[in-house]
Amino acid sequence: MKQIASILLTCLFNVWLLPEVWAQKRPNILLIMADDMGYSDMGSFGGEISTPNLDRLAEGGIKFTQFYNAARCCPTRASLLTGLYPHQAGIGGMTNDRGVASYRGDLNKQCVTVAETLKESGYRTFMSGKWHVTKHVDFWRTWLTEDQKIRTSKDNWPLQRGFEEFFGTIHGAGSYYNPATLTRNNTPITAGENFYYTDAISEHASEFIRNLGDAEEDDKPFFGYIAYTAPHWPLHALPEDIKKYKGRYDQGWDKVREERMARMTAMGLIPPEWKLSDRDPDNLSWEATEDKEWWAACMEVYAAMVDRMDQGIGKIIQSLEATGQLDNTLIFFLQDNGGCHEVLTDNWPRSLHFPAFQRDGSPLLRGNDVSQMPGPESTYMSYASEWANVSNTPFRLYKHYIHEGGIATPLIAYWPEGIQQASRTTDQLGHIIDIMPTIVEVAGASYPEEYKGENIQAMEGQSLVPVFRNQRFDHQAIGWEHEGNRGFRDGKWKLVERRNPGLAWELYDMENDRTEQNNLVEAYPEVAQSMIQKYQTWADRVGVVDWRKP
């Protein structure tokens, strides 16, 4: 009798501890990320690309219009997985080791991942897609000796960082038809016939969900991290998807950008008084551009890649519906950085990112060669800054930079049983460091102070749960640094500096000028100086190194 009473008291205590909306049953959680996708690419954020499944999530959940990432793939993923700034997790730059603790290119042992945290709290965990938070990918380099390969560590691979199942790639980019570093759990594998990576990510995620949803041995909730490489270069898409967009971009980037801006204003995503940011001065107008057919085809293929990803997300939703899991699953969708301006050339050094050959051993056409249209396996192309400027409408610059075009991401949060937000759109400020504390709260999980004998850094972010309950909160200041590009946001003020070409600090009023057209650094020198001091305090605290100094 005493034992029964004790169990009842424990249950009541747990219900009292957990927030009211999810006291009945802990939700499943899916974290879905796109790669190099711009702010306005999907339909629910003003784009012309067909994304009905993402739009469904947006219409049934909350659209965050003022959410931020860390400007580049590796730091964003490190921050998203750990709830820390990327420097605190050891990946202040990319996955190259710069000999400094905050720039080791590997997740450190003083952080825990979302998967590790939830696994300790009784969740099942899986991942499908791109990892890219470790420098140890040399198992696949055929020119290394076996001794060199043995010295490569798997300590920071997904299964060693909290995931029970993994399918995907360890490194950052590559062919969609034959991706390097393709892995199942801890074992390298090869792509089969008719392989297309976006489809494979979706199919494995759906399979994991169905297996967990149909499991009879336990009733544990699950956490899934689904990290697409789409629409990151190279421009690889299936013919049936490209066909949908044939002719859609013949009018050129200037016109498409204006149309997106008009839709975004009409949808209430941006105020009508905001101005469309100036086009990159290095870009030609569409009228002055040669090879228009090739340029239009680049955006057609890019759109097809986004479209295919959305189709896969639809299959994931179907797997949740088929197992009765959808209503009590919290789904996040966001992007790792803005659209990518990088132009691929034929003289990139051969690497896992830039292979020289196709699967059959024939040479790969590397670089943006207008003599051949993008899309098939034989090509390795990008859509360049002209179309990246469209993807990031209405903002300035691109991936890698701390101007809004590099760090602004749409965030969709969908959870029928847990979200009580009356309005389906919020301008509440947020950052990827907020995802971990949000997940910890809704899962009723415990974030550790110590893990595997290491002292763990405290989470940096703030839970977004108040927004789920139709409440607002004051967000703390946010900082950024990536390869010398720097920024700081505190309330309505944003301080930002572009390393190349070494311009000075700029100051913007984000309430009235989020497209960063009116630099107020001279008009408000005291505000600028205060923000610079705040940035430096933040940078010193998280381990930023000023690489620009001699």
CATH number at residue 437: 3.40.720.10
Please tell me the predicted confidence (pLDDT) of residue 21: 43
Range of the domain at 62: 28-471
CB 334 within 8 A of CB 409: yes
> Does residue 498 sit within a domain?
no
Residues 6+ apart with CB under 8 A from 56: 317
> Does residue 485 sit within a domain?
no
Please tell me the predicted confidence (pLDDT) of residue 17: 40
Q: pLDDT in tens for each of the 550 residues of the chain?
A: 433 443 333 343 343 344 444 446 899 999 999 999 999 999 999 999 999 999 999 999 999 999 999 999 999 999 999 999 999 999 999 999 999 999 999 999 999 999 999 999 999 999 999 999 999 887 666 555 666 555 578 999 999 999 999 999 999 999 999 998 999 999 999 999 899 999 999 999 999 999 987 765 568 999 999 999 999 999 999 999 999 999 999 999 999 999 999 999 999 999 999 999 988 888 888 999 999 999 999 999 999 999 999 999 999 999 999 999 999 999 999 999 999 999 999 888 888 888 888 888 898 999 999 999 999 999 999 999 999 999 999 999 999 999 999 999 999 999 999 998 767 899 999 999 999 999 999 999 999 999 999 999 999 999 999 999 999 999 999 999 999 999 999 999 999 999 876 679 999 999 999 999 999 999 999 999 999 999 999 999 999 998 776 5
> Does residue 354 sit within a domain?
yes
Over residues 297-355, the pLDDT tens digits come to 999 999 999 999 999 999 999 999 999 999 999 999 999 999 999 999 988 888 888 88
Please tell me the predicted confidence (pLDDT) of residue 122: 95
> Does residue 511 sit within a domain?
no
> Does residue 548 sit within a domain?
no
Q: And the tokens for 171?
A: 């490194």
pTM of the model: 0.94
> Does residue 534 sit within a domain?
no
SS3 content of the chain, % helix, strand, coil (to 5): 35, 15, 50
Please tell me the predicted confidence (pLDDT) of residue 146: 63
Please tell me the predicted confidence (pLDDT) of residue 4: 41
Distance CA 408, CA 269 (A): 13
> Does residue 541 sit within a domain?
no
Number of domains in the chain: 1
> Does residue 444 sit within a domain?
yes
Distance CA 167, CA 227 (A): 10
Over residues 247-278, the pLDDT tens digits come to 999 999 999 999 999 999 999 999 999 999 98
Q: And the tokens for 544?
A: 């930023």
